[in-house]
Amino acid sequence: MPQTSSTRALPGTPGRLAWTVSDGSLEALKWVALALMAGDHVNKYLLHESSTTLYALGRMVMPVFGFVLMFNLARPGALQGGLHRRVMKRLAIFGALAMPAFAWLVGWLPLNILFTLFVATLVVYLLERGGKGYRLLAVMAFVIGGALVEFWWPALLCCLGAWAFVRQPTAGRFTLWALGTASLAIINGNFAALVALALIWGATQVDIPLRRSRWVFYAFYPAHLTALALFLATR
């Protein structure tokens, strides 16, 4: 089956069709995660987590966004093209923009989810640079960064598991990804995050014609948290 410009095998696996994801389906995953995140935050801040359904669905958000990010970082030429540095810059900027509302709603620590994705990107960047020095820095970033960000080390394990699998989709690496995702149960209190793996697999079975909306996902996070904080502050 020939690949088209909108359908490509997972990076690092030329000629293999397992877990093929089209660009449009990847975009659809982001929209689904964004909707689930909005529902989760409405449930958390406005409904006082009264909806167990919205809470469970919200546990899939981080694994989905983490997969999409790792998929893009693993594309051929991403490191050489400076994608990792650009992504870290955007995550840092929009994460900082979200901090006033996030701090009002939750507190200053742990840092919000955009900083979680920032640390995951930083670890991957250092690992891809190669060499003992960069690997040591990657370990330090994982240990120190994981102590400071939302969902802590389990979130980083989930992202790094996805990155390892995307680069070489083997049964062993899928198991590591699943275990990393399952470790989120320590924080979530359930294993609902694992359903994200089924959702991602479902995206590999269809080619959804969606155009990329890069800045919507970055901007939505601080915008919706600010709106929630302002609404609660004026009640």
Alpha-carbon span 29 to 69, nearest angstrom: 11
Residues of the chain with pLDDT under 70: 1-18
List, for residues 100-152, the tens digit of each pLDDT value.
999 999 999 999 999 999 999 999 999 999 999 999 999 999 999 999 999 99
Model's pTM, two decimal places? 0.92
For residue 8, give the DSSP letter.
E
Alpha-carbon span 9 to 128, nearest angstrom: 20
Alpha-carbon span 111 to 96, nearest angstrom: 9
Which amino acid, residue 182?
A: A
Q: Are 71 and 21 in contact (CB under 8 A)?
A: yes
Structure tokens at 96: 């900082």
